């Protein structure tokens, strides 16, 4: 059922110019629930989001790119217990997403196009209304995205 919800969102909501932030975060929650099933006890998800998202609009399927990247590179290549941090906060109409995942030794995951696609989409959809900062801090990959969102 959760997989069907993800696919439905991708097909119907993913084609829209904007969706409510609440819908986008619900999509993330379903995705995380499936990842918890897949990773069993290997991954601790430290998640945080506020409950007033219905007041803002966002381009769909932007935030999932950061979460997918964290899981692909920080969870899937290991059998060890790891933690993925994914926090969304709002201050006025500025959304701040912070993500952190371990940098795994000998991670031979191919470098994909996910972050480059995200950068291009942000440039097109949020010109002068976003910042994307990516840091390697000790053994952690940290991503901070700030977006200026429109109110509903």
121-133 pLDDT per residue, tens: 999 999 999 999 9
Question: Quick check: 29 pLDDT over 60?
Answer: yes
Domain over 2-151 is classified CATH 3.30.565.10:
yes
- Distance, in Å, from the CA atom of 50 to the CA atom of 45, rounded to the nearest integer, reads 16
Sign of the CA dihedral running 83, 111, 6, 50: positive
pLDDT in tens, 86-96: 999 999 899 99
How high is the mean pLDDT of the chain? 90
- Overall average pLDDT of the 107-120 stretch: 77
2 in helix, strand or coil?
A: helix
Q: Do residues 73 and 107 lie in contact, with contact meaning Cβ atoms separated by under 8 Å? A: yes
Q: What percent of the chain has pLDDT over 70?
A: 93
pLDDT band of 55, cuts 50, 70, 90: confident
| Cα distances (Å, whole numbers) of residue 47 to 16, 44, 50, 109, 150 | 26, 9, 10, 24, 24
Q: What percent of the chain has pLDDT over 90?
A: 70
Q: Give which of 105, 113, 61 is closest to 82, Cα–Cα.
A: 105
46 in helix, strand or coil?
A: strand
Question: Quick check: 138 pLDDT over 60?
Answer: yes
- Listed by start position, the domains of the chain span 2-151
pLDDT band of 66, cuts 50, 70, 90: very high
């Amino acid at each position: 059922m959760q997989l069907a919800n993800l696919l439905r969102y991708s097909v119907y909501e993913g084609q829209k110019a904007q969706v409510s932030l609440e819908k986008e975060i619900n999509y993330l929650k379903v995705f995380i629930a499936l990842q918890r099933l897949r990773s069993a006890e290997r991954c601790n998800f430290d998640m945080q989001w506020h409950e007033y998202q219905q007041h803002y609009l966002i381009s769909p399927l932007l935030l999932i790119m950061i979460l997918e990247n964290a899981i692909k590179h920080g969870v899937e290549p290991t059998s060890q217990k790891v933690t993925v941090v994914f926090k969304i906060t709002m201050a006025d109409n500025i959304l701040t997403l912070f993500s952190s995942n371990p940098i795994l030794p000998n991670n031979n995951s191919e470098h994909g196009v996910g972050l480059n696609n995200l950068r291009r989409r942000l440039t097109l959809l949020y010109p002068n209304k976003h910042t994307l900062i990516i840091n390697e801090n000790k053994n952690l990959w940290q991503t901070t995205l700030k977006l200026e969102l429109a109110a509903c």
